[in-house]
Structure 1
Amino acid sequence: MLCYAINVVQCRVLCDVILLILDIQNDNWMAGSPRDSGPMISKWEQLSLAPDLLRSLSKFGVGPPNKIQQRALPFLLRGADIIAQAPPTQERIAAYVIPAIQIAVTNISVRPPNRGPIVIMVSTTVDQATQAQRMIRDLGGPIGVRSALGVGATTNDLSQELRLLQQNMPHIICGTPQKLHALFTTPGGLVGSEVRFLVLDEVDQLIARNLHEFVFNIVKLLPPPRSRPLGPSTPTPGSTPGTISQSSFTSPFDSPNPGRRFSGLGPSPPAETNGTPQPIERQTALFSNTVPQDVLNLASAIQLREPVRVLVRRDGNVTHADTAQSSRGLRQFYLYLAFTAGGRSDPTAAAPGGGLGIIGSGRGASSAESAQAREWKLDALADLFDDVDVVQAVVHVGGMTALDSVVYKLASRGLEAVPLHGDMNAGTKLAALNKFRGASSMIMRQPAAKVLVVYDVQVKTPEVAHVPLIINYDLPKAVEEYAHRVAPAIASNYSRAGVIVNFVTATGGDVEMLRSIECFYKIKCPEVPMSLRDIV
């Protein structure tokens, strides 16, 4: 029933070889960006921060710089572009909020009134953008830095929002790619020629959700990247190991296939000088949970100049909740599907705008699987449910197209599939959860298993009682998300722990992500047995 993989022995050998290669690549990347890259700091006073900002940090009780701040801030405050890999935390947000406030404070008197923002922060999710704007409001507001939040629906009529922004122009604007794109590209929208600092957060997820086109269009409106060399105090290639020139750095993520790279944007429009001695130039900071090839491709496409590589290891840290998973005996497996894209082109995979931003190794790329491969994956999921006897299950998918396909496929097999996704309003989400928690339909002779098919929503344990089976049809895009997905399967005091099945395909970075999950949570997922009926 589950024989979609190649010979089991061959499959395991293949996986071991792939994981070994990934381990070697990770070691090589660490050799290129040493752990102690860049000057280390232990207190804010060691940085060249404005006195008002230092007082604000002290007033709000901000603790001493942590690992990501110690490594990123010295370079950002000197004007360097960076690519930083670190776990998504409040400390990571502070690592770009603090230099953003510093840049705003320094340039407030230079920027013409109501001309345009000085800093743009692009976050993949509303939550991340909101956290960044609140931090700017708390730290920068008392010292005269105005900020705004650009999230929500991108309606056709943005005139009211733009009018309010232009009446009290923010120095820093935070938002999601779609909304910021609308605010800057709408006729009469915000002006980007005064932007000195661009921040892209959660870049790997931004690419996986196919939002990079919005970023490309925004970047076209901004000043060009730095062209002149940084000051003598700034690290340069050869003087400090943390800074590595793009022309000389060879990353293990680099792809030999140029077709998998992002296309270049071409030269950016020149910025207005407004009488200043030198034209405005853009500094860019990329923060990401992981740094696959596509993140480096995007950095190249938006023309980062000699970016500093900053890496903060997770060091295998496991939170108390994560430890509880292991102690309560979650049974976690992987189902390897040994098929690839097969060479057939996927007409739905083409990106708008003439091919900019081709997704090659990024997770969630629709081009990674052919139509036939996706159909086989759906068949594998449906057959898995034929092999188990459960009352409830949760299936996590990586996109709306996958959600619709899974719901249709399961319904065609007689299962009661309930969709739940992030675009639903609160009432619709509650109705879906109530339907999943309620009794099965009595129209059928036998009660059908209820399957909650989830995309872009965090299903919390109080909302859903103990679930015996959770399937990651598409693996999460960040290892931290895995803990939230499997939480409903954790055993209560007197119940049996649930089963987790992770679908792993030969394309799209699934093997690497599974390896990251195993290392982060200190677990080992064996291959799924031929029959799950005895363990579910």
Structure 2
Amino acid sequence: MRTWSAGSLDLPLRGPDGSGLGVMPRGVPADLSKQRRSVSNNLLRRDSAGVRVTCRASGVLTDTNGAQDLMIGRDGAGPTVAKWEQLNLAPELLRSLTKFGVGPPNKIQQRALPFLLRGADIIAQAPPTQERIAAYVIPAIHVALVHSASARGSAVGPIVVMVSTTVDQATQAQRMIRDLGGPIGVRSALGVGSSTEIGQELRLLAQSMPHILCGTPQKLHALFTAPGGLSGALVRFLVLDEVDQLIARNLHEFIFGIVKLLPPPRSRPLSGGAPPANGLGERRFPSPVPPPVSAPGEGGPASAVSTIERQTALFSNTVPQDVLNLATAIQLREPVRVLVRRDGNVTHADAAQSARGLRQFYLYLALTAGGARGGSGSSSGSMDGPGLGIIGSGRAQAASSAENAQAREWKLDALGDLFEDVEVLQAIVHVGGMSALDTVVYKLASRGLEAFPLHSDMGQNGKLAALNKFRGAGPTPRAHAPRVLVVYDVHLKSPEVAHIPLVINYDLPKAVEEYAHRVAPAIAPPSAVRPGVVVNFVTATGGDVEMLRSIECFYKIKCPEVPMSLREVL
């Protein structure tokens, strides 16, 4: 039975007079002694990690493996921070926050920052917003300011590494660091895109080594593992954002490769002894090879580097068992789980307000790997090969190459048939991988449509060129053909594309929060004659059905099956 406990961390709280910070001593303080109770008297909540406990009391839930859960209720359980001055931030950073006009800490910042600034490892669950990015950018700048002087003579690598699943998230984080930390001397760099010019990029980084390095898993892995690559011996703070999507896209191997080169985790022993086995999750991660405790630097002895310990922060939209297994594999020590409810998530409001300007359907494709259409039959592999993993099950499903190729061809035919049934000048098709993007572009072009690829590995000039062609700004070989933008891993914003009458999710998103970004261009303005249309392709296997149900529950919508003639609603 789990019970309420103050845990083993000294939690910073507001003092009795409301000003400054008091300290919750180890053990159970007097004002919380009446709230110590057994699990049987609390409200139980079950998630994918097992039974969790929530109640309206404040406290930290200590699990059997030493991990601690800070359960956030509606009344704001846990440490309360109303002002930045209540946190132990570097004075330069406080001045920068004030000068930049950053508002008071919000829910995720109030709960995560006190633990991060005290050196704790955390697993934070919160909606993907700018505030969540700030929740790890601010402590990262603080760490860079505190330790930049000690690393000045041996700057062969960054002090902070931030790994984001998408280019968009990594770019937002680096911009925030540039705005808040740049004026106070914190250098940052962005590592995204292809790795063709890795040698030249490493030479540029060596000329002015950044304190904080942001990027995507593949690119950062290349920067650390290439010949003459960056050293990870000085990294004191590792941030992994969108961890659930990172696992869904099978990018965790890049994380393991990076972690091997970083300093060891905090040496403080676990309060509950050795952690148990790796849970009951679908995917189990072998622990990476323990990183070396010392690494020779160019400007100092190895012993100086050996004292560095790594702090790790995991941020995720959801925290299934796969995320907890990854946390165990990279050796988080006594991680504090900060769980923020989704109450007030703006995507709910946006979806409700725009319901009148958007019609959403699903197109069910009973594609199986058994060589036949219709019925559930045998399991098929991912529509984009083994690289993306399977949503819903966590397991890669076995199917022959010929069967997968046949299923993909039928799905492509369905996409082509759909465009023959409608008359639109512009449409957007979202896919789930680079191979799917190439095949969809080729298939649509063979059907007489103008198809333009857009993906996150493109440079800025390439993206602008694709968007200009899609908007019809330049001459095209078939000027009167419908123009289709095939997108992978890029969030399109309103200034970039106007109202698009048709958006097709050829592959469903890997997380429900991504759905709002995808369908936003289809939302019709009040002056439009007809609402925009979204068509979601749903296959019989691969977790598509579960993902569609999750989207419907999250946004409180109901997607009917696409009508026999889509032309009637477009």
Give the distance between the partners of 2:473 and 2:508, measured in 1 at CA. 22
2:414 is matched with which residue: 366, 370, 380?
380
Alignment partner of 2:355 out of 326, 347, 351 = 326
User: Cα distance, 1:222 vs. partner?
Assistant: 0.7
Partner of 1:214: 254
Distance 2:561 2:362 in 1: 5
Structure 1 residues 504 and 61, CA gap change in structure 2 (3 angstroms): same
Question: Of residues 78, 82, 86 in structure 2, which corresponds to 1:46?
Answer: 86
Question: What is the one-letter code of the residue matched to 1:397?
Answer: V
Match of 1:487 in 2: 520
Secondary structure, aligned partner of 1:313: coil
- Shift of the alpha carbon at 1:502? 1.1
Cα drift, residue 472 of structure 1: 1.0
Q: Residues 246 and 472 from structure 1, CA distance in 2 versus in 1: closer, same or farther, beyond 3 angstroms?
A: farther
Change (3 A) 1:316 1:237: farther
Amino acid at match of 2:163: V
> What are the superposed Cα offsets for residues 505-533 of structure 1, whole Å, 9 maximum, x if unpaired?
34444344334433443322223344434
Q: 1:87 to 1:227 in 2, by over 3 A?
A: same
- Counterpart CA distance in 2 for 1:405 and 1:188 is 36
| Residues in 1 aligned to 2:495 and 2:100: alpha-carbon distance in whole angstroms | 34
Is 1:148 matched with 2:189?
yes
Which has the larger share of strand? 2
**Counterpart residue identity of residue 380, structure 1:** A
Distance, in Å, in 1 between the alignment partners of 2:49 and 2:196 is 47
Output one character per residue of 1:347-404: Cα deviation in whole Å (capped at 9) or x when no partner: 99567xxxxxx94548999868733433343343334445545554332212221122
Aligned equivalent of 2:469, options 406, 423, 432: 432
- 2:343 partner letter: D
Q: Which one scores higher on RCO, CA 8 angstroms, separation ≥ 6?
A: 1
Query: Aligned letter for 1:433?
Result: F
Q: Any gaps of 5 or more consecutive residues in structure 2?
A: 1-44, 55-68, 296-300, 370-377
**How far apart are 1:221 and its partner, in Å?**
0.8
Shift in CA distance, 350/383, structure 1 to aligned 2, threshold 3 Å: closer
**What per-residue deviation string (whole Å, max 9, x for no partner) do you get for residues 256-301 of structure 1?**
xxxx433332322223484459732211111123334443343333
Counterpart code for 1:94: A
Comparing 302-311 and 108-117, the one that deviates more = 108-117
Query: Is it true that 1:162 corresponds to 2:202 in the alignment?
Result: yes
Q: 1:78 to 1:142 in 2, by over 3 A?
A: same
1:80 aligns with 2:80: no
1:23-172 to 2 correspondence within 5 Å? 25=47, 31=53, 33=69, 34-36=71-73, 38-111=78-151, 113-115=153-155, 116-156=157-197, 158-159=199-200, 161-172=201-212
The structural deviation recorded for 1:69 is 0.8
Q: Is the 8 A contact 1:340 1:506 kept in 2?
A: yes
Q: Unmatched 5+ residue regions in structure 1?
A: 1-22, 231-235, 239-244, 352-357
The letter of the residue matching 2:176 is M
- SS state at 1:183 partner: helix
1:20 counterpart residue number: none
Supply the AA of the counterpart residue of 1:174.
C
- Is the 2:506–2:537 contact (alpha carbons within 8 Å) kept by the matching residues of 1? yes
Residue 429 (structure 1) shift:
0.6
Q: Distance in 2 between the 1:26 and 1:315 partners?
A: 20
CA gap of 1:237–1:91, structure 2 versus 1, over 3 A, is farther
Aligned length: 484
- Shifted more, 270-279 versus 296-305: the winner is 270-279
Q: How does 1:459-474 map to 2 (within 5 A)?
A: 459-460=492-493, 466-474=499-507
**Residue in structure 2 matching 1:202, options 242, 246, 265:** 242
Listed as ranges, the matches of 1:5-16 within 5 Å are none
The 5-angstrom pairing of residues 80-479 of structure 1 reads: 80-111=120-151, 113-115=153-155, 116-156=157-197, 158-159=199-200, 161-229=201-269, 247=276, 254-255=281-282, 260-272=283-295, 274-275=302-303, 279-315=307-343, 317-318=345-346, 321-328=350-357, 330-339=358-367, 342=378, 349=385, 359=389, 361=391, 370-388=404-422, 390=424, 392-412=426-446, 414-422=447-455, 423-424=457-458, 425-426=462-463, 428-430=465-467, 432-434=469-471, 441=478, 450-460=483-493, 466-479=499-512
Is 1:501 equivalent to 2:535 in the alignment?
Answer: yes
Letter in 1 for 2:287: G
Q: Counterpart of 1:100 in structure 2: which amino acid?
A: A
Partner-residue secondary structure (3-state), 2:435 = helix
Residues 436 and 480 (structure 1), Cα distance of their counterparts in 2 relative to 1, 3 Å cut: farther
Is the 8 Å Cα contact of residues 117 and 172 (structure 1) preserved in structure 2? yes
Query: What's the CA shift for 1:54?
Result: 3.2
| 1:514 aligned residue | 548
Q: 1:55 to 1:441 in 2, by over 3 A?
A: closer
What TM-score, normalized by structure 1, do the two folds share? 0.76
Identify if the C-alpha distance between structure 1 residues 113 and 479 changes in structure 2 by more than 3 Å, giving closer, same or farther.
same
- Distance across 2 between alignment mates of 1:404 and 1:132: 29
TM-score, scaled relative to structure 2: 0.72
- The letter of the residue matching 2:196 is T
Equivalent position SS for 2:408: helix
Distance 2:322 2:254 in 1: 16
Contact 1:56 1:139 in 2 (8 A): yes
CA distance in structure 1 between the aligned counterparts of 2:379 and 2:415, rounded to whole angstroms: 23
Q: Residues of 2 paired with 1:194 and 1:129: CA distance?
A: 21
Which residue type is aligned with residue 76 of structure 1?
A: L
Seq. identity, % = 68
Which has the higher mean CA deviation after the structures are superposed, 49-58 or 271-280?
Answer: 271-280
Q: Separation in 2 of the partners of 1:415 and 1:368?
A: 35
1:286 alignment partner AA: L
* 1:213-240 CA distance string (max 9 Å, x none): 332222111112223238xxxxx669xx
Cα distance change, pair 347–153 in 1 and its aligned pair in 2 (3 A): closer
Cα distance in structure 2, aligned partners of 1:494 and 1:360: 38
Separation (CA, whole Å) in 1 of partners of 2:111 and 2:532: 40
Question: How far off is 1:208 after superposition?
Answer: 4.2
Matched residue, 1:9: none
